[in-house]
Structure 1
Amino acid sequence: MRQTARIISTYTADISGVCSALFELGGMTVIHDASGCNSTYTTHDEPRWYDLDSMIYISALTETEAILGDDNRLIGDIVNTAGELSPRFIAICGSPVAMMIGTDFKAIAKVIGEKTGIPTFGLSTNGMHSYLTGASCALETVVKYFCHGDVARSKDLSVNIIGATPLDFSINGSVESIKWWLAESGFRLVSCMAMGSDLDRISLAGSAHVNLVVSYSGLATAKMLQKQFGTPYVAGVPFGIGFADILAHVLRRAAKSGKSSVPCAERKSGSDGGLTVVGESIFAGSLARAIEVESGRSVRVLCPLETTEELTAEGDVLIPNEDDVARQFALAGSVIADPLYKPICPDDVSFYSLPHEAFSGRCYREQIPNLINRKLKLEETI
């Protein structure tokens, strides 16, 4: 029962991560699940739903089809719909029910691709992992299918942003601020995966001199581009003024040397009784580094999501379960986290709210601050 959350919320699932990453790319995404389950994504996980058009559908899997393993209607519906809408690609992702009945998404995708002539891929999501896993798989697959292998390196200093979705950055202008900061730092943006760039822009990703990875969901894609094109990556989000300057310098250095770097993890982790930040590893690590640069105070990062050792500093702690969260909160002096963590924060520990769309959905969306390349207001926090 250690994986049971009695008090706090849970993070957005991998299914929504796929949909979020593919939302703006002109493809058709089909969730293989029972009718009505699409509303979980559209209501809580997708702030762009009412402002941008996207072809995201539910298969309306029935109990009989699940019992019999009948995929014929699924295939037929997708083929017919694709014929009417002419999407750039078709993505089929799974659900817990599809996992339980052993749906072969790769085989289904192959059949649909042959019938439609449209690039089709199956993504074996199952709702048991976080949005980071789903978005990572989706971005990696898109780059594999559509990124031109013969593209030449651009003459001017250029960059891709990889791993940007509203689940981590909401729609409060943060991604636009990252793009502006890159331009001010002397970089031309090739593509942003996947907010504000279409498939044609992403197909040119191999021409960039360096890749900026802004969440764990972009790391696998960055490593793929590094292997295919030799493009180095830098992991970090330009929070604060000081760390934004450091990150810009590291990007220029990586573009010149060809060596990847993870500046968000190049810091001293805080100790018991100190300031703690909770969140996705690159996001939280970057905020911790920004606080360290501006105040001189070390910050401990607690990561409740998938990550790698590469993205964490020594002393950071993984907190996959609610019991782990409560135990670490009891050791902290103050905590920066999503408001839905507050109920398990001890009364004698100061709590500072930093909403995360992937954790509390739309509940606190209007309160999410844009901290990109801006002086952090640390007086009350430290």
Structure 2
Amino acid sequence: MKGLRLYLPPFAPDTSGAAAVLYPLGGMVVIIDAGGCAGNICGFDEPRWQQEGVRSAVFSAGLRDMDAIMGRDDKLIEKVRLACEEIAPRFIAFIGTPVPAVIGTDYRALVRMAEKTTGLPAIAVDSDGTKLYDAGGGKALLALCRTFMNTPVTGKAPKEQMPPMATGSAACPPQSPAGSIGLLGLTPLDFTSAEVRRLMDALHAVGWTDVCRYDRLTDFTQPRCRKNLVVSPLGLPAARYQAAHYGIPYEIGLPEPFLHDTAAKITLGCQDCQEERLLIVHQQVLANALRNTLRQSGQRGSITCATFFRQEAETCEPGDAALAEEDGFQEFVADGKFTVIIGDPALRRALPSFGGRFIALPHFAISGSLTDAPC
């Protein structure tokens, strides 16, 4: 049965991905729902709500039946105006859910009404709750770039500056200290707090002293990056937009030092590097980067990557799988005869007959767990 899950939890949807990108930017995030979707975001899909730290202004539109049926956008805008008087946000962001998708909400009209009423810039993300977090996060990043990066260069970038398609193995160090490297796709849905610290250390180790995480509105209004590093698939739409309109090249991957310890622990437990059949299940950029690091560390067995999320040709090899359903995942594992599986611990429950070695590589978007489980 399509969509039936006996073991795996529901993954973070596109509404949560959009909210994760917008969380630290100082705007007012309005979830256009009756309350349920906003509750899921804050209660389950946003780890920063579960930790001590900076809070974000996330509101539910509080739609009622007749509000949705009649499309009473004026009531929503009035709520936004009153809230702006209390919290003074830097911008307004509307995030869609199944309700506005069904009734055909005009997001452009909402944006114009909000800007006219509040005097603040506004964006909208037309997520519908039926896709996964990387789709919504990608739309949110792209909307931020289109709205706030307002000094485009004329024409296309010179050929030598156009984005190289990296294999996911390393971030090239700068040729001069001027400028910084931008990280597109860095959200808690893909990277734990410990992993973020390791990533910063790894970038410093390869020569980048200034790292832009796109977690401040000024990162969009005053872009300073010499290049962007796409660390998860949700960063690709914004990277391609910046390359085409602003001449900022990008690379897809992760710096090698970031994955050295993980690769060493995986290799240490392998009985025979020539005979092992490894499967890495994560978001495709991290999975591919880990595969390359394992090979450089001496792993000579077969290594396959699989993901339930967006898969890009630039980071794939023949045999990599785009997964959709739980039973498809089980069949892929059985057919591949893998001896080692690397992925979120929640995936282990879906493989009751797997007799090989399972290595934990947490992915919050899958399990919603904050555990920094070691490999």
**Scaled by the length of structure 2, what TM-score is found?**
0.83
Change in Cα spacing, 1:271 to 1:108, as seen in structure 2 (3 Å) is farther
**Residue in 1 aligned with 2:220?**
202
**Residue in 2 aligned with 1:160?**
182
1:342 aligns with 2:345: no
After superposition, residues 83-232 of structure 1 pair within 5 angstroms as 83-149=85-151, 156=178, 158-172=180-194, 174-194=195-215, 198-205=216-223, 207-232=224-249
**Residue in 1 aligned with 2:366?**
359
Unpaired segments ≥5 residues, structure 2:
154-160, 162-175, 262-272
**CA deviation map 1:74-99 (0-9, x unaligned):** 12101221233221110101111221
**Residue in 1 aligned with 2:171?**
none
> Aligned pair count?
337
Displacement after TM superposition at 1:241 (Å): 6.5
Displacement after TM superposition at 1:283 (Å): 1.3
Displacement after TM superposition at 1:340 (Å): 1.4
**Residue in 2 aligned with 1:294?**
297
Aligned identity (percent) is 30
CA-atom RMSD in angstroms: 2.5
| Structure 1 residue ranges, 4+ long, deviating more than 4 angstroms after superposition | 239-244, 270-273
Displacement after TM superposition at 1:121 (Å): 1.5
**Residue in 2 aligned with 1:24?**
24
Partners of 2:281 and 2:8 in 1: how far apart? Answer: 13
**Residue in 2 aligned with 1:234?**
251
Displacement after TM superposition at 1:219 (Å): 0.8
Between 1:9-18 and 1:233-242, the stretch displaced more is 233-242
**In the alignment, is the contact (CA less than 8 A) between 1:212 and 1:235 conserved in 2?**
yes
**In the alignment, is the contact (CA less than 8 A) between 1:8 and 1:322 conserved in 2?**
yes
**In the alignment, is the contact (CA less than 8 A) between 1:83 and 1:116 conserved in 2?**
no
Displacement after TM superposition at 1:294 (Å): 1.1
Between 1:52-61 and 1:303-312, the stretch displaced more is 303-312
**In the alignment, is the contact (CA less than 8 A) between 2:192 and 2:372 conserved in 1?**
no
**In the alignment, is the contact (CA less than 8 A) between 1:192 and 1:202 conserved in 2?**
no
Displacement after TM superposition at 1:237 (Å): 2.0
Displacement after TM superposition at 1:272 (Å): 11
Displacement after TM superposition at 1:213 (Å): 0.7
Unpaired segments ≥5 residues, structure 1:
245-269, 370-376, 378-382
Between 1:159-168 and 1:140-149, the stretch displaced more is 140-149
Q: Aligned to 1:275, what secondary structure does the other structure show?
A: strand
Displacement after TM superposition at 1:59 (Å): 0.9
**Residue in 2 aligned with 1:260?**
none
Amino acid in structure 2 at the alignment position of 1:160: G
**Scaled by the length of structure 1, what TM-score is found?**
0.82
**In the alignment, is the contact (CA less than 8 A) between 1:226 and 1:232 conserved in 2?**
yes
Displacement after TM superposition at 1:239 (Å): 5.2
**Residue in 1 aligned with 2:41?**
41
**Residue in 1 aligned with 2:308?**
304
Amino acid in structure 2 at the alignment position of 1:366: T
Q: Aligned to 2:110, what secondary structure does the other structure show?
A: helix
Q: Aligned to 1:91, what secondary structure does the other structure show?
A: strand
Partners of 1:240 and 1:219 in 2: how far apart? Answer: 22
